[in-house]
Structure 1
C-alpha cells in the first residue's frame, strides 16, 4: 500500500468553453488528455455560464458530482437530469450533452475496463468517521473540497488540508479513521483498473 498527498499547488488548471477545469490526477502519468489515452482522470470543473455544451469525449465514461450550485444535464435523445449539491450522474462522454445552470463539480472519467465510484462525506468539526478500505480497489482518492481533516491509516496520521488529495495505491483491507478538525466536505473516489 502506497500513500501520498497531492497538494493543490501542483494541480493543472485549464479553461473550457463553460469555465475552468482543475486536473487532480490522471493515470498513467504518460497519458495525454487531448488524446484520451488515460485509464482514468480525476478533476474539478466550474460551469460559470448559464448554458454550456460539454466537450465530446468518445470512449470515456463520466461520473459528474455537484459540489456547489445546481445544474440540469441534457443528454440529447436520452434524458435530462437535474443535479443539486452532492447529486451525481453517470453518462458517456460521446453523448451530446449540454447543461443549464452554474455549479462546481467533481469529475471521474474512465476508459476501457476501468471502473470507479464516487461518494461524499460531510463530517462536522470533531466528528470521527470509520471508513473501511477494501482491497478490491486499485486506487482510493480522498479530495478535501472544504475544511481540514486528519486521517489515520494503520496508525499513521495524515493531515489533509482544503483542496488537497490523499492517494492510496494498491490498498490493503483496513479501516481508516477520519477526524474532522473543521467542518469538511470530502469526495472519495474508488477505482479499479482492469
Structure 2
C-alpha cells in the first residue's frame, strides 16, 4: 500500500502489515473461485454418473445374439435366460474378454440349481447341471472359433501348439520364442 507523505516531494513508504492483509484477501478470493470451479466440475461429474445407471433387467436380445454367435441352441439360450431371471442376473456377457467377467454369474447359476435339488428331483437337477456345463463348454469353444489370428507374431511364448502332418500324425509342441523373423518351437 502506498502512503503519500506531506512535504515538498512525494515519498512512498510501504506498510508491510497492510500489504500482507491485501495479499491474504487476494489469495482468499482466488481460493474461493478455485473451490467453486472444482465443486461445479464435481457436480457435473455426479450428474453424468447418475445418468449412466446400471441395467434394471436382463437384455434378452443381446444375450440371444451372443448365444447365436457362440452356437448355442434355442433350448440352451432359453435355459440361460430363465435362470438369469431367477437369479436376478442383469448382465451375462457371453463374449467377454476375460473369464472373470462371466465366472461369477455361472457360479451363481450353479448354486441356484444346486439349491433346487431335493430327493425327488435329483435326476432333473443333475440334468440341469449337465446342461449348464455343456453351455459353458460351448461358450469356451465358441470363443476360440471367434478369435481370428491375423498375424503369428501375436502368439505368446509358452503357447502349446499341435502340428498335424499330411498323414494325420499329430505332434504336440510348445512355442519357445516368437520374433518377427522366426518362431522357435
Give the number of the structure whose residues are more often strand, by fraction.
1
Structure with larger Rg: 2
Same fold (TM over 0.5): no
User: Greater relative contact order (Cα 8 A, min sep 6): structure 1 or 2?
Assistant: 1
Give the number of the structure whose residues are more often helix, by fraction.
2
TM range (shorter): under 0.3
TM-score (norm 2): 0.22
TM-score (norm 1): 0.22
